[in-house]
């Protein structure tokens, strides 16, 4: 089982370089960088790390076609691929916060994401591309950098393109177009069926399952001080599947799902104030959410919590991508010491 980390985009390029070097020493497969509206450009931020490392993968998660045309995505990921000597990755998805923050409509959202993945993946193949999609189009695209065969010394393989998909409709449409799929906050109660749906979608399109990558982002809140860990975890709960009912139904009663939906403002306030105080929500319900959406606690609890992580492997997840927040360097060291040695080999 491969282990990745996903970082907040609040690090400088110099800090990211140090973290990438730490990931490389620690056995992390890929260091992913989040992409938010009010943050540094993720592709540019990873360039120094690309030049300072030689093995760790470097990825951007997630880009939507409404913020960046798929041709520009291909140019960006191929540039990173060239500079990293073949280690770039990209997740393409429905947009996260971007459409709402920029005031974009997202008509035909599923088709738009599928076409974007198809265009980017084909554009990175090293072959000349004309793609007359219904939404995204390009004619005569053939970059002379980054793609296999594009120039002497180019990487031998194209960058890995993942579909950022969770729920059935998006999954069926986009997963077969990509090199892999990255779920986000997929609870243990949902993951086995979602993996099954992923491979069924591949089969429906005649896409071989061999070599296909299945990843799940999982929140990591492990600190020496348990209260610090809990504060961080409670603060970030709003982001866990955006507390969408589809996720919640796998481990909460209908009544508790209703309660969470009616009290989302309390989770938003805890996130906005950065204090983890979730007013008016019973502590037992908060603990249930934390247990089903994250690994939260102290290092000495990790051994007893390993079955939770191994359940993802048993369900068919090949790559576990830990979502890190405060003090990512400490988190990477803990993952290297307490998690990686106890996971099944790749």
pLDDT band at 103 (very low <50, low <70, confident <90, very high): confident
Structure confidence by residue, pLDDT tens digits, 43-71: 999 999 999 999 999 999 999 999 999 99
Question: Which pLDDT score, from 0 to 100, does residue 346 have?
Answer: 80
Indicate the domain borders of the chain. 2-224+298-342, 226-293
Question: Looking up tokens 């982002």, which residue turns up?
Answer: 217
pLDDT at 138: 98
What CATH class is the domain 2-224+298-342? alpha beta
Tokens 């076409």 correspond to 115
Q: What is the DSSP letter of 340?
A: G
Section 67-88 average pLDDT: 98
User: 232-291: per-residue pLDDT in tens?
Assistant: 999 999 999 999 999 999 999 999 999 999 999 999 999 999 999 999 999 999 999 999
User: Cα 193 to the chain's mean position, in Å?
Assistant: 19
Phi then psi dihedrals of residue 132, to 5 deg: -90, 65
At residue 99, the pLDDT reads: 77
Question: E strands of 239-317, at which residues?
Answer: 294-297
CB atoms within 10 A of CB 54: 11
How many CA atoms within 13 Å lie on the side-chain side of 322?
28
Q: Which of 294, 309, 321, 320 is nearest to 232 (CA)?
A: 294
Q: What is the pLDDT of residues 187-211, one digit of tens each?
A: 999 999 999 999 999 999 999 999 9
Overall average pLDDT of the 71-77 stretch: 98
What whole-number percentage of the chain has pLDDT above 70? 100
pTM of the model: 0.96
Following CA atoms 146, 179, 9, 77 in sequence, which dihedral angle do they give, to the nearest 10 degrees?
20
Give the chain's mean pLDDT: 97
Are the beta carbons of 221 and 294 closer than 8 angstroms?
yes
């Amino acid at each position: 089982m491969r282990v990745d980390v996903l970082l907040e985009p609040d690090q400088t390029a110099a800090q990211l370089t140090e973290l990438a070097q730490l990931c490389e020493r620690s056995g992390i497969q890929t260091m992913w960088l989040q992409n938010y509206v009010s943050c540094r450009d993720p592709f540019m931020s990873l360039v120094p790390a690309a030049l300072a490392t030689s093995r760790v993968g470097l990825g951007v998660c997630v880009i939507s076609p409404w913020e960046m045309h798929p041709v520009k995505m291909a140019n960006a990921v191929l540039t990173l691929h060239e500079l990293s000597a073949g280690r770039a990755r990209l997740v393409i998805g429905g947009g996260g916060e971007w459409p709402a923050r920029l005031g974009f409509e997202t008509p035909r959202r599923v088709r738009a994401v599928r076409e974007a993945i198809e265009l980017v993946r084909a554009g990175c193949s090293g072959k000349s591309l004309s793609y007359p999609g219904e939404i995204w189009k390009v004619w005569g695209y053939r970059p002379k950098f980054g793609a296999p065969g594009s120039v002497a010394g180019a990487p031998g393989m194209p960058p890995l393109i993942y579909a950022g998909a969770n729920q059935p409709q998006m999954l069926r449409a986009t997963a077969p177009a990509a090199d892999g799929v990255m779920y986000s906050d997929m609870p243990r109660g949902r993951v086995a069926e979602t993996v099954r749906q992923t491979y069924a979608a591949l089969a429906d399109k005649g896409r071989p399952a061999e070599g296909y990558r299945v990843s799940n982002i999982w929140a990591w809140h492990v600190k020496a001080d348990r209260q610090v860990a809990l504060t961080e975890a409670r603060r970030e709960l709003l982001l866990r599947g955006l507390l969408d009912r589809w996720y919640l139904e796998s481990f909460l009663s209908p009544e508790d799902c209703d309660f969470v939906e009616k009290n989302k403002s309390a989770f938003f306030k805890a996130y906005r104030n950065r204090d983890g105080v979730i007013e008016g929500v019973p502590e037992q319900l908060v603990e249930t959410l934390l247990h089903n959406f994250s690994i939260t606690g102290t290092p000495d609890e990790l051994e007893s919590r390993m079955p939770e992580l191994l359940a993802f492997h048993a369900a068919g997840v090949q790559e576990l991508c830990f979502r890190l927040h405060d003090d990512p360097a400490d988190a990477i060291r803990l993952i290297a010491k307490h998690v990686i040695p106890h996971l099944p080999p790749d």
